[in-house]
Structure 1
Amino acid sequence: MSNIETLIEGLGDLGIELSVKQKEHFIKYKDLLKEWNEKINITAITDDIEIDIKHFLDSLTPIITKLFEGKKKIIDIGTGGGFPGLPLKIFNNELQVTLLDSLNKRIIFLNEVIKALELKNIDAIHGRAEEFGRTPKYREQYDICISRAVASLDTLSEYSLPFVKVGGYFISMKGSEVDEELKEAEKGIKLLGGKILKKEIVRIPNSDIIHSLIIIHKIQETPTKYPRGGGKPKKNPL
């Protein structure tokens, strides 16, 4: 059975305490992550302490924004092994969560985790953000879209902002060097109905890793022509 001491300790630094059930959930999640990772490539991070720091603690740092309290509806774009959406759901069970990833094998893994933890109001779906963002069922339906995906902010904003309802937020989890990206993305974000609210610098507890949370407020509807299909957001960012 996995050890989550580093996670417990790190959350203590943020003034957060986990319940017995939450601890059990994180242990089970980590066990499944390591077990499945031997069969399919979900993450390059397999060490107990590294998983606690680089996956679990990193995924939980958005809690400091206070935007994840209560019954919010959130979507996690390019979720991979479930980060940050699944740890946020374990932390606040009231969240209604959609995990979206373009690799079906990851979705199969995530469904296993959801089943093992008996979580409700959480869906793992296989698909591409530029297609789902144009679908009425998903378009402008979420209080928060969050992403830890590696695309540049201008590309990511076109994938993400269409999911957010007016008044909601898109949160992009980035490294520490993000000012250049912010500058390049500003025009596109405005075009998509967003406004950069702030850049929150966070240090992941128990590490010297510094990350940024880019918080974008959705102030008007996204024009219907976005997101563009055919890989355009990546090839030719706004």
Structure 2
Amino acid sequence: MDRAVERLTPSQHILLETLFHELERWNRRMNLTTVPAADVWQRHVAESLDLEAAAAPPAGGSLIDVGSGAGIPGLVVAVAREDLSVVLLEADVRKAAFLTHTAALMGLASTEVVNARAESAARRAELRETFDVALSRAAAPPAALCELALPFVRVGGRLAALVGDAAVAARDAVRAAAECGGSPPAAIGAGIFVVEKVRETPALFPRREGVPSRRPLR
């Protein structure tokens, strides 16, 4: 088992089992995950904790999971890092309902669900450039993700994302990262890319709903 998973306490294991139980139950009526039960500790937990380690949010910091879906990685990180304030951003109403229900059931008092598209949520003063870290698990292609997620990150923070091929993702996102206030993307291992927030995101970004994915900055 992954070392990060081995460091989880018994009470954290219980909370994550609650997440998996609810995920299996809700998955019968909506498409939340295709990961089989036998693989959840590796695919959901270990990979989420690897992503959190790459992002390295500061003690007592804040984190937004962009396109949270099934709560991976956001709910896993909220369990492992009880010191963090976590926002789960999800556009789909039913998935947001799952996240709200499950976070409450798990007793995650410092976790908030925001049911909105990233393009509109990033225009809210209370969300724009306020987070230490933005995380995402394949919520959008790398260039689109930079445009959607970097506006939430404060200068000095970072975006970290799980992707299929980190080297390719880093190359694809160079322009988008630069235009949205980020450093050149860096590949960490095979499946994580990280962008440091080095300056404020121009007011132009993100563009209106759907445009970042249809016409990514490349």
* TM-score (normalised: structure 1): 0.85
- Aligned partner (choices 188, 194, 198) of residue 186 of structure 2: 198
Deviations 1:47-93 (Å, cap 9, x if unpaired)?
32222222222111124337135111000011110010110010011
Alignment map for 1:52-201 (pairs within 5 Å):
52-65=41-54, 67-175=56-164, 177-196=165-184, 198-201=186-189
> What letter is aligned with 1:90?
V
Give the Å deviation of 1:197: 5.4
Question: How far apart, in 2, do the equivalents of 1:187 and 1:107 lie?
Answer: 31
Give the Å deviation of 1:149: 2.4
- Secondary structure of the residue aligned to 1:194 is coil
Alignment map for 1:11-90 (pairs within 5 Å):
11=2, 13-14=3-4, 16-45=6-35, 47-65=36-54, 67-90=56-79
Question: How far apart, in 1, do the equivalents of 2:209 and 2:151 lie?
Answer: 16
Question: How far apart, in 2, do the equivalents of 1:183 and 1:18 lie?
Answer: 34
Work out whether residues 134 and 160 of structure 2, in 8 Å CA contact, stay in contact via their aligned partners in 1: yes
Give the Å deviation of 1:158: 0.3
Question: How far apart, in 2, do the equivalents of 1:16 and 1:44 lie?
Answer: 24
Question: How far apart, in 2, do the equivalents of 1:149 and 1:229 lie?
Answer: 20
Question: How far apart, in 1, do the equivalents of 2:91 and 2:52 lie?
Answer: 26
Deviations 1:25-56 (Å, cap 9, x if unpaired)?
011111111111112221122x3222222222
Work out whether residues 196 and 214 of structure 1, in 8 Å CA contact, stay in contact via their aligned partners in 2: no
Moved over 6 A (4+): none
Give the Å deviation of 1:102: 1.1
Deviations 1:162-190 (Å, cap 9, x if unpaired)?
00001110112111x34333223212211
Percent identity of equivalent pairs: 27
- How many residue pairs get aligned? The number is 217
Give the Å deviation of 1:236: 1.3
Give the Å deviation of 1:150: 4.2
> What letter is aligned with 2:151?
P
Question: How far apart, in 1, do the equivalents of 2:65 and 2:30 lie?
Answer: 21
- Decide whether aligned partners of structure 1 residues 57 and 180 sit closer, same or farther in structure 2, where only a CA change above 3 A counts: closer
Give the Å deviation of 1:131: 0.6
Question: How far apart, in 1, do the equivalents of 2:135 and 2:55 lie?
Answer: 14
Work out whether residues 69 and 92 of structure 1, in 8 Å CA contact, stay in contact via their aligned partners in 2: no
- Decide whether aligned partners of structure 1 residues 116 and 162 sit closer, same or farther in structure 2, where only a CA change above 3 A counts: same
Structure 1 unmatched runs, 5+: 1-9, 202-210
